[in-house]
Amino acid sequence: MSKKPTYYITTPIYYSSGSFHLGHCYTTVICDAIARFRRMDGYDVFYLTGTDEHGQKVQQKAEAAGVSPQQYVDGLYDQITRLWKALNISYDKFIRTTDDYHERTVQKIYEKLLAQGDIYKSTYEGWYCTPCESFWTESQLHDGKCPDCGREVKLQKEESYFFRLSNYADRLIAFYESHPDFISPKSRMNEMINNFIKPGLKDLCISRTTFDWGVKLPFDPKHVAYVWVDALANYITALGYLQEDHALFDKYWPADLHLVGKEIVRFHTIVWPALLMALDLPMPKQVYGHGWLLFGNDKMSKSKGNVVDPFVLTARYGADVIRYFLLREIPFGSDGTYTNEALLTRTNADLVNDLGNLVSRTTAMVTQYFGGQVPQLGEYTDLDRELISLCTETLPRVRADMEQLSAPDALADIFRIVQRANKYIDETMPWALNKNGDTVRLGTVLYVLTECIRFAATLLTPFIPDTAARIFDKLGMPLPHDFGGLADFGGTPSGTAVHKGDNLFNRIDVDRELQELDKLAEQQAAETPAQPQQDAITIEDFSRIQLRTAEVIACEKVAKSDKLLLLKLRVGDEVRQVVSGIASCYTPEYLVGKTVVLVSNLKPARIRGVESNGMILCASDGKQIVFVTPEKDIPSGTTVR
Ligand code: MSP
């Protein structure tokens, strides 16, 4: 027996900003359909997914949630593995970047790169987007914001290790040119070359010192690995690269497909190949950047009224309704919009009307006219032959669609069998054949229909596996593990016991269901705790601000100013002068003797030529200003926190 060809497919490893929405399921469901298709088509598939658990963002989220980073990522792991189970995802391995073997291998990778001179130490000065964990130069920012997500960036200056990415620009371009399918779709290749490589590749900062939730660099442990290097390495550490047992690496690397969302193509087609070149490893065969599932105009789930919680949706409709929608509705490579209405309409049209009806009509007629046994086959007519050709031509078509990774086209091709078979029922009118006592023709018609269902269900198995299994159960046949049974039309033995059972899918009353979903979305919105602010500071950030009580011992107006008062404050043993813009609300006399709260470590500044050494805390609603004061007497100089 010949050895099966291997196929290594990966999703990005996921991180969560709190909870997963339907958009997060998109990459994983597509990869799952591809992996299942390849397995049935004779490949030895390895499907990898996992979680991206390090980085500043995780550390901040954990702090905001009042848990340790490890507890936070354990929660993330638990949530996502439940989600993949609910969606029937057939991954072969799940990697967590906090797994020991992964961390140790990332350290070895850094050591190797350092030893061969691909890494050097310097100082990073530039802009950092924490939500994207991305470094940017001033000129790359859009209106001062992150060009990827549009959020605030922070000026960062820290001692860092750098990877000599700039050395790889020419080799990268040469590689793209000699492997035109490496970056797909093609438009994304031009974007990478024109927007990132041609303007000049800068060396990449690959370590951080301002937080510690990451893989410590073995040669300088106050540095942790840059989360993107840590994350990208998962594709090889999961297979045993640089580990004692590297059988999987030897067998499956290089990857056949890294399927990723379009916003992270840059990391996968510039940073990742350059790292692989540095490690002297073969390149992955393809990085495909798919489009987004949009909610309104947004990639995220901000729009109101749409239930985009995949746990709710899978519990309500089952995994296959959601899988089918994601695989069929969004043109592959482009963005597509999610609405509840689109989900329900698509389900009714394709799964309830087309597929559900074909299966229930056929099994009902076999039951009614032939006591539930697949009848004998008579002579084929031209009409039958047309349908038979459609069935036997579909696997090669679907194979070609899946070569292009296009599940929407593959499903459209499979559903052509379903639609044609439904039309065949109307054309052949089995009920009339029964009435006329034409049992031989009736038997042939129902045999042809049963075979059409077997063909369609076999081909649907990678996409909607639960439904396919239920169909085979109704047909009284085992679920096929490959496409071998599609070689010949006529594989179903006559006499096979068929049973109709429940409907595969029940028709949805779209208007009523939309109202129900609206209610659910409102309930969810009410139950969702307020998300921590995007720019939330950490407790360490806050502790850098020194607040102390201070007694006003003298106060006067600042010359030529209506707004400013000059206050002399006793702060413990020290006396300070502070300028404050509260003259419109307080007289100097009123303030003398009062206790205020002072920001005592603010850099001194000159205001209207007068030195100000700190700032007093006030609340203001735009009309009035009131200073903050302790609720009871307390000595001046006391720390406030
Ligand atoms: N952790 C990084 C990946 C590191 S891989 C070495 C990351 N994680 S993510 O959780 O933000 O995204 C995981 C996948 O979900 C990406 O492919 C991303 O494009 C996809 N999606 C997240 N929201 C999406 C939509 N609304 N629509 C389609 N896919 C989107 O990036």
Q: In what order do the strands lie in the sheet with 207-208?
A: 207-208, 220-225, 216-217
Q: Which of 452, 471, 486 is the last residue of a domain?
A: 486
What is the mean pLDDT of each successive set of 10 residues along the chain, which is 641 residues long?
88 83 94 98 98 93 91 94 97 98 98 97 89 83 84 88 96 95 91 86 93 96 97 98 98 98 95 98 97 75 59 95 96 90 97 98 98 95 97 98 97 98 98 97 98 98 98 97 96 95 96 91 69 57 88 90 89 90 90 94 82 89 83 91 87
Residue 380 lies inside a defined structural domain of this protein:
yes
- Structural domains in the chain (count): 2
Shared domain for 479 and 576, answered yes or no, is no
Cα 290 to averaged position of ligand 1 atoms, centre (Å): 10
Q: Residues 128, 133, 138, CA angle at the centre, nearest 5°?
A: 25
Please state the atom number of ligand 1 nearest to the C-alpha of residue 259: 17
Q: What is the pLDDT of residue 18?
A: 64
Residue 257 lies inside a defined structural domain of this protein:
no
Q: Where are the beta strands (DSSP E) in 114-229?
A: 119-129, 134-136, 154-163, 183-184, 204-205, 207-208, 216-217, 220-225
Q: What is the pLDDT of residue 526?
A: 74
Shared domain for 478 and 549, answered yes or no, is no
* 3-class DSSP state of 121: strand
Q: Is the peptide bond before 254 cis (omega within 30 degrees of 0)?
A: yes
Give the span between the Cα atoms of 225 and 275, in whole angstroms: 14
Q: Is the peptide bond before 185 cis (omega within 30 degrees of 0)?
A: yes
CB-ligand 1 contact for 238 (6 Å cutoff): no
- Give the residue, out of 10, 16, 26, 151, with the most ligand 1 atoms within 8 A of its beta carbon, to mutate for a pocket test: 26
- Short-list 270, 214, 226, 56, CA closest to 124: 226
DSSP state of 350: I
User: Hey, how many other C-beta atoms are within 10 angstroms of the C-beta on 58?
Assistant: 27
DSSP state of 414: H
CB-ligand 1 contact for 52 (6 Å cutoff): yes
Q: What is the pTM of this model?
A: 0.82
Give the span between the Cα atoms of 466 and 406, in whole angstroms: 21
Cα 319 to averaged position of ligand 1 atoms, centre (Å): 20
Distant-in-sequence, close-in-space partners of 99: CB < 8 Å, separation ≥ 6? none
Residue 275 lies inside a defined structural domain of this protein:
no
DSSP state of 68: -
Shared domain for 481 and 573, answered yes or no, is no
Give the span between the Cα atoms of 564 and 64, in whole angstroms: 37
Residue 366 lies inside a defined structural domain of this protein:
yes
Sole residue written with tokens 């029964």: 434
Shared domain for 454 and 555, answered yes or no, is no
- Neighbour-count burial of 61, counting CB atoms closer than 10 A to its CB (0-12 exposed, 13-18 middle, 19+ buried): buried
The two three-digit tokens of residue 152, written as one number: 């605030």
Is the CB of residue 301 less than 8 Å from the CB of residue 26?
Answer: no
Q: Which of 468, 486, 504 is the last residue of a domain?
A: 486
- Short-list 289, 349, 406, 364, CA closest to 12: 289
Give the span between the Cα atoms of 571 and 427, in whole angstroms: 95
Cα 16 to averaged position of ligand 1 atoms, centre (Å): 9
Residue 318 lies inside a defined structural domain of this protein:
no
Is the CB of residue 46 less than 8 Å from the CB of residue 92?
Answer: yes
Shared domain for 351 and 461, answered yes or no, is yes
For residue 460, give its domain range.
339-486
Tell me the CATH number at 551.
Answer: 2.40.50.140
Residue 119 lies inside a defined structural domain of this protein:
no
| Amino acid at residue number 8 | Y
For 514, 519, 574, the CA distances from 265, given in Å and listed in that order, are 36, 37, 57
Q: Which of 441, 463, 486 is the last residue of a domain?
A: 486
Give the span between the Cα atoms of 166 and 161, in whole angstroms: 14
Q: What is the pLDDT of residue 640?
A: 92
| Amino acid at residue number 590 | Y
Shared domain for 349 and 438, answered yes or no, is yes
CB-ligand 1 contact for 26 (6 Å cutoff): yes
CB-ligand 1 contact for 424 (6 Å cutoff): no
Residue 271 lies inside a defined structural domain of this protein:
no
Please state the atom number of ligand 1 nearest to the C-alpha of residue 27: 17
Is the CB of residue 206 less than 8 Å from the CB of residue 230?
Answer: no
